[in-house]
Structures are given as C-alpha cells and as structure tokens.
Amino acid sequence: MMKTYPWIDSITTRVTSDVLSLARQGLSIGKKALETSAKTLAQTAGSLDEWEKKLERPKSPTEAPMESDGSAAA
C-alpha cells in the first residue's frame, strides 16, 4: 500500500528531532543554573561563617573557661 502523504513522515521526523534538541538544550541550561546556584550558596555560607566568627564576643580574662564535656558538673 502506498502512502498518500509521504511528507507527513518528513515533518514528523523533523519536529521530533527539533523537540529533542530543545529538550537537551533545556536540560543542559538547567544543570548549569543549578551548579551555579550551588556554588553561590556555598560561597554565601562561607561568608556567613566568617561574619559569625568576626562577631563572636571575645572572652574577658575574668571569665572561667567552660567545660564542654560536662565533667565539671559531676
């Protein structure tokens, strides 16, 4: 049986190829965006950590060091 409209197959193939190409491009852009966001968040977290350390109150010489293991309470 002969196909009545052979150009339909050609259009279908072309559209499918274009859609797959756009999907690959979109996924690639999404991946880059997520990687950039992760890098930016890591840098921001590092900056916040630095600010936290800069803002820590220095201990006065009269303050006794605190025991962190709880052995002083025993």
Query: pLDDT, tens digit, for every residue of 9-36?
Result: 999 999 999 999 999 999 999 999 999 9
Who's near 65: CB < 8 A, 6+ residues apart?
59
Q: What is the chain's length?
A: 74
pLDDT at 4: 78
Enter the pTM of the model: 0.55
d(CA 46, CA 36): 15
Residue 66 has a pLDDT of 63
Domains of the chain, by residue range, sit at 23-47
How confident is the model at residue 20, as a pLDDT? 97
How far does CA 45 lie from the centroid of its chain?
13
Q: What is the pLDDT of residues 36-74, one digit of tens each?
A: 999 999 999 999 999 999 998 777 777 666 655 555 554
